[in-house]
Amino acid sequence: MAAKKLLIITGITGFVGSHLVNSNFLKDYDVVGLSSDKFFTIFGKIEEITKSQYLDKIESASKIKIIFLATYYSLNN
């Protein structure tokens, strides 16, 4: 069995990212995500992981794709 490709999703906990994780589109990927200063993976749902676990997945991947959904939002002027 071939290894799954790694998919990085920035803004994974935002509106679009959180809906994307429930998509069949992701079934062929090992998915990790970023949101502000936290790191996530998908095991049927979004689960927080450590930075070290996140970097390990990236370093061991043979192919990586990125979906950039991150935005900057602040309540401060």
- Does residue 39 register a pLDDT over 80? yes
Residue 21: closest CA among 49, 40, 37: 40
Could you tell me which residue, 16 or 43, shows the higher pLDDT?
16
Cα–Cα distance measured from residue 51 to residue 56, given in angstroms and rounded to the nearest whole number: 9
Q: What is the mean pLDDT of residues 20-49?
A: 86
Cα–Cα distance measured from residue 17 to residue 57, given in angstroms and rounded to the nearest whole number: 19
- Does residue 49 register a pLDDT over 90? yes
What pTM did the predictor assign? 0.80
Looking at residue 16, its pLDDT comes to: 86
